[in-house]
Chains A and B, each alone.
Chain A
Amino acid sequence: MSKPYEVRADEVQPLSVLDTNGNVVNEAAMPKLSDEQLKELMRRMVFTRTWDQRAVNLTRQGRLGFYAPVSGQEATMIGSEFALNKDDFICPGYRDMPQIVWHGLPMYQAFLYSRGHQHGGQIPEGVHVLMPQIIIGAQILHAMGVAMAFKKRNEQRVAITYTGDGGSSEGDFYEGLNYAGAFKLPAIFVVQNNGYAITTPFSKQTAAQSIAHKAVAAGIAGVQVDGMDVLAVYKAVQEAAERGRSGNGATLIEAITYRYLPHSMSGDDPSKYRTKEETAEWEQKDPLHRFRIYLKNKGLWTDEEEAQVVEDAKATVADQIKKAETTEKMTIPGLIDSMFETTPKHLEEQKADYLA
């Protein structure tokens, strides 16, 4: 029993709907989704897994540049985006390509972003996302600001943003949550806790029991969810979105997940800091595996359907990388002209050097 004047953090149990064998363990938390929506969730997860595998290969072939793998995090990424409306706004981190592509960014632009081409960031009109954020934590503040805009205009929209477990140690993480609490903003902060920030394990980020607990410091709702369980993630985000839309403020969602592949394709070697046993244990929790069984038991999914999705994904990736590779090359005058609305005289002069 703690002393009444001491703040105590109890352990938290993640929200879970399916167990690792695809059995429903929490009927009360089962989101209301049609058979078609359930199949679409599976389709997107399978598609994203294949896309990720292809992207890793394309990186090795030098056809993609910076790439942060996502395999293992499909339930968190796909389930959370699926719970949004199309006019909700996503502020992604650098790993969060799947969310913004499923929200409307053409895949070839995601590939262009990876290759370091400006057109990758030219988000189409009507697609409500920002470009992937490299500065860990900055996107959390942007989501807070976007949510402020929604609140000021009385729009029934939410802003959602993603970071990893390492990102929860940043000052901007806390500032964003705290502002969202102080202004009661329609924002959803998702932390994808995959246990590692590059090589640093979660235990070295914080002595807190969980990241979800950090919501307490900001006075907002905090939720922990099994990030390998797409239905649980969907449910948590849907509730957070309702909370935001109804004027009841922001939510911090910690999704417990895992990445099967390296931190990025830029030289990280996970075997130096993770054991085979650990990875094998998390492979038992594969979000695709459990959802596949669940759907098969309901008669909603077949191996043929899955093979078809894999084929579709491969064909789409092949088509989209070609489109990226044949996109017109950038020029220095083009870059100069994208600095300001009106190019100042000194930049016009510098531009002339490249046009001569």
Chain B
Amino acid sequence: MAQMTMIQAIKDAMRVELQRDPNVVIFGEDVGKVGGVFRATEGLQAEFGEDRVYDTPLAESAIGGMAVGMAVQGFRPVMEIQFIGFIFEAFDQIAVQAARMRYRSGGRYNAPITIRTPFGGGVKAAELHTDPLEGLLVQTPGIKVVVPSNPYDAKGLLISAIRDNDPVFFMEHLNLYRSFRQEVPEGEYTVPIGKANVVREGSDVTIITYGAMVHTSLKAAEEIEKSRGVKVEVIDLRTLMPLDIDTIVESIKKTNRAIVVQEAQRTAGIAAEVIAQINEKAILHLEAPVLRVAPPDTVYPFAQIEDQWLPNPAKIVAGINQVLDF
């Protein structure tokens, strides 16, 4: 075991997979010699060679196309899009070409591609560096979407993503890269894709969330337990597609109340889908409507006003009070 930040855990996962499978290749803008703009691939080119870990010209669509072409030839590409807002340049290759390869070919070809992309607010980044675009990806049939919230999950989920024989979009929250350390096992282990995690047990209300909002929600849960004696259960979805509805329903059977907290705008992200599925599968267990705590439906805010836009513990506490007092 070692104490690792999330970015170290992510690098460790890639190292494990490069070692294990000669078909794993890592490429993107500045991922080679310098090891990525966040050092997620630092040292990997030195260890595994330019043949395995290499820089590309600056063109996201071509990065995606290279991944698809290599994938149909049996490689297992781990491609990096430097920041989330640049996925639009590569969207045809991710959302059309990779996502549909197995279906279009009736299983003759597949696209075992992992797309690593940093995203996430709270770091006062430039425009289009942090936008929570997971909703677009979740609505794309053929692609899985994973958002880890801590170093342990990040490593285990990334190893699972790389081994998955279908495309996985792996979203790395910028604010979690180096914000804390955690015990992370050496060597290989996996966290299954499609399994949520109850990160805090409670009996009065369920918060369903993911990414950095897991930590914001945990703070809110502690605050309201102190102020009102409310026991909040917090579910970290970890995977947004496929969604682990069973864990959510099990929790709601116990708490009978829920809110969904997300960093994405109200009509983006995953909240609406979570609520719809709760309606379909657990309506008789609900004492109150399921609410969303989410930013307004604006363009991602300018850095100066980001902290007012993003959900914070106070907004989450207000949401919890609303469902408790319904």
Contacts and interface: CB of A to CB of B under 8 A. Distances in A.
Interface of A: 89, 91, 118-119, 121-123, 130-131, 135, 138, 140-150, 152, 159, 171-172, 175-176, 178-179, 182, 335, 338-341, 344-347
Interface string B94-110: 00110000111111111
A121 B105 CA distance: 4
Main secondary structure of the interface of A (DSSP, over half): helix
A347 B93 CA distance: 23
B97 A135 contact: yes
Contacts, number: 124
A341 B110 contact: yes
B67 A339 contact: no
Contacts of A159: 69
Contacts of A91: 69
Interface in B225-248: 242-243, 245-246
A335 B103 contact: yes
Nearest to A182: B57
Given A142-B69, A175-B59, A179-B57, A339 B103 contact: yes
Given A149-B75, A339-B142, A171 B69 contact: no
A338 B103 CA distance: 5
Contact of A144 (B62, B72, B102, B109): B62
Interface in B63-107: 64-75, 92-93, 96-97, 102-107
B52 to A, nearest CB: 9
B279 interface: no
Contacts of A341: 102, 110, 164-166
Contacts of B71: 145
Contact of B56 (A89, A179, A347): A179
B242 A147 contact: no
Contacts of A178: 57, 59, 62
A344 to B, nearest CB: 4
A338 B107 contact: yes
Interface in B173-218: 194
A264 to B, nearest CB: 19
A64 B103 CA distance: 21
Most chain A C-beta atoms within 10 Å of own C-beta, residue among B51, B62, B72, B75: B62
Q: Which 9 A-B pairs have the closest CB atoms?
A: A145-B69, A141-B65, A149-B73, A344-B242, A175-B62, A122-B106, A145-B66, A146-B69, A142-B69
A131 B194 CA distance: 30
Given A135-B96, A145-B70, A121 B65 contact: no
Interface in B273-314: none
Given A138-B92, A141-B64, A123 B110 contact: no
A333 to B, nearest CB: 13
Most chain B C-beta atoms within 10 Å of own C-beta, residue among A135, A143, A338: A338
Contact of A118 (B59, B66, B73, B106): B106
Nearest to A127: B108
A172 B242 contact: no
Interface in B123-150: 141-142
Contacts of B74: 149
Most chain B C-beta atoms within 10 Å of own C-beta, residue among A135, A340, A341: A340
A152 B74 CA distance: 12
B105 A172 contact: no
11 contacts: A121-B106, A131-B104, A141-B64, A145-B69, A146-B70, A149-B74, A149-B75, A175-B62, A178-B57, A340-B142, A346-B245
Contacts of A141: 61-62, 64-66, 68-69, 93
Most chain A C-beta atoms within 10 Å of own C-beta, residue among B64, B66, B103: B66
B61 to A, nearest CB: 6
A339 B65 contact: no
